Amino acid sequence: AVGASFFTVFVTDFFGDDIAECDSVDTKCRAQCQCDNDFFGMDCSMTIDAYQSKRNSAELLCTTLAVTRSSVDVTESTILSDCATVTALFKDMTVISDDAYFNCSKVVTDSILQSPTLVVEDDVMPTVVRALSALLERGVFISDDIFENIVSAIEVLNDYRQAILSAGEEPFELYT
């Protein structure tokens, strides 16, 4: 990368422990650029002006999504749009401020908690799951309150999806 001085490898679990090496197929770790002083972003390709511009845009977009969410009817289309936006925006977590993270995470979790029957539909659920995954990329830097909302949203998503998958099946008893 343009401004990269070196790469470090770290575990992406919620503990953030450093490790010595990472296999390319290991989903528990990843390479991360550590940028020189004059470059920013996940790939160290942004100048300070570009970084600040992207960070401000992310802040404005997340705030707009949160404000808009409270004034429009939630539909499959709005959920798909909001979740796809958050997923794309969070590809470079270095430009996401705490306020932007709060607002965007609220949009995703509220979509699930307030409209669970919409988010578990076959054409919506993959996009919602990708957005949740993007939220979890923040790792150890997720506040307890937001993390609890994400976990609640995942539990609701799981429960409603199971209900859809088991609809129409005859109940049975299992003795062990």
The pLDDT, as a whole number, for residue 118 is 94
The pLDDT, as a whole number, for residue 16 is 56
Percent pLDDT > 90 in the chain is: 57
pLDDT-based confidence at residue 147 (cuts at 50, 70, 90):
very high
**Of the given ranges (70-74, 82-86, 121-125, 172-176), which has the lowest mean pLDDT?**
172-176
Pair type for strands 29-35 and 4-11: antiparallel
Buried b (16+ CB within 10 A) or exposed e, 22-61: beeeeeebeeebebeeebbbebbbbeeeebeebbeebbeb
E strands, the chain, where? 4-11, 29-35
Residue 171 has pLDDT above 50, yes or no: yes
Contact 35, 63 (CB under 8 A): no
- In the chain, what's the furthest Cα-to-Cα distance? 65
The pLDDT, as a whole number, for residue 35 is 77
Quick one: which of 148, 68, 64 has its CA closest to 113?
A: 148
Question: % helix / strand / coil in the chain, to the nearest 5?
Answer: 55, 10, 35
Mean pLDDT across the chain = 84
Alpha-carbon torsion angle 48, 57, 127, 133, nearest 10: 40
Phi and psi torsions of 12, nearest 5°: -95, 15
pTM: 0.80
pLDDT-based confidence at residue 7 (cuts at 50, 70, 90):
very low
